[in-house]
Homo-oligomer: A and B are copies of this chain.
Amino acid sequence: MNTPTFRNWQSVQTEVLRRIHAREWKPGDLIPNEADLALEFGCARSTVNRALRALADNGLLDRRRKAGTRVASQPVAKATLDIAVIRTEIEERGQKYGYQLILRNQAIPPVAICASMQTGTTEQLLHIRALHIADDKPYALEDRWINTTVVPKALNEPFQEISANEWLLKNTPYTNGEIAFHAAVSTPDESSILNCPEHSALLVIDRLTWDNSLSVTKVRLVFGPGHQLRTIL
């Protein structure tokens, strides 16, 4: 059997994928080493390396020095959700974006917020509540605390036209963050703002971002009923 030669790393990747899908290499199996594959595919080892590294990044292969490369036995599917600016998200779906500021003041947040943001319990933060609107219908309720020690410039922003969501993403650097998704029953308050029946099930996203060891902002986004987050595997 004469194997065709694979000229680029994508085609090598495709062929390796094919073998995994066709179960020629089963989960847990050790696959040939880079040098051998390079020989077989008629390309350089670095080309094979590139292909296998990409697959390992996607969780399909486990690689360890000396131990070799094996097909992941628990093929962990990685769902990558793109968290964009809400305005962009809405506009990309061809809907009209609207925005309405509900509240903007400085206050001492509840202790739970203080604790997670690691700010003092006597420290005032900037509190913003706002509604994002798609095609004149409520889309998501944003409830945010901003650490003004870290982002003093936020104090000069009215957030009347531009949402804190958008302003912060454009103007504030951050190094890392956490994000969590869960479902919650709507409070009377949320129901009236989002114009939905009480006790609706709402998708909630909590996000907390840090600049090095200082908390920048903590935000809760409550989406209207039926909202879906989707992505491909």
Which residues of A are interface residues toward B (Cβ below 8 A)? 20-23, 27, 59, 73-85, 88, 169-170, 173-185, 199-204, 207, 209, 211, 225-233
Measured in the bound complex, the distance between the Cα atoms of B121 and A119 in whole Å is 58
A-B contact pairs, 11 of them (CB 8 A): A75-B169, A77-B177, A77-B179, A78-B82, A78-B83, A81-B81, A83-B233, A178-B232, A179-B231, A181-B203, A185-B185
Q: Which of B84, B179, B204 contacts A233 (CB 8 A)?
A: B179
* Cβ B78 vs Cβ A78 within 8 A: no
For A182, the closest partner residue in chain B by CB is B228
Measured in the bound complex, the distance between the Cα atoms of B44 and A202 in whole Å is 51
* Cβ A74 vs Cβ B169 within 8 A: yes
For A183, the closest partner residue in chain B by CB is B183
Q: Which of B177, B201, B232 contacts A185 (CB 8 A)?
A: B201
Measured in the bound complex, the distance between the Cα atoms of B231 and A229 in whole Å is 15
Question: Contacts A74-B169, A80-B80, A232-B176; is A200 near B181 (CB within 8 Å)?
Answer: no
Interface of A is mostly: strand
* Cβ B20 vs Cβ A178 within 8 A: no
Measured in the bound complex, the distance between the Cα atoms of B76 and A179 in whole Å is 14
Chain B residues near A182 (CB-CB < 8 A):
203, 226-229
For A229, the closest partner residue in chain B by CB is B181
Chain B residues near A183 (CB-CB < 8 A):
183-184, 201-204, 225, 227
For A83, the closest partner residue in chain B by CB is B77
Report the minimum CB–CB distance from A77 to chain B (whole Å). 4
Chain B residues near A169 (CB-CB < 8 A):
74-75
For A232, the closest partner residue in chain B by CB is B178
Question: Contacts A176-B233, A177-B233, A203-B183; is A83 near B88 (CB within 8 Å)?
Answer: no
Measured in the bound complex, the distance between the Cα atoms of B173 and A73 in whole Å is 12
* Cβ B209 vs Cβ A185 within 8 A: no
Measured in the bound complex, the distance between the Cα atoms of B219 and A77 in whole Å is 14
Chain B residues near A27 (CB-CB < 8 A):
170
Chain B residues near A176 (CB-CB < 8 A):
232-233
Question: Contacts A81-B81, A84-B74, A201-B184; is A21 near B179 (CB within 8 Å)?
Answer: no
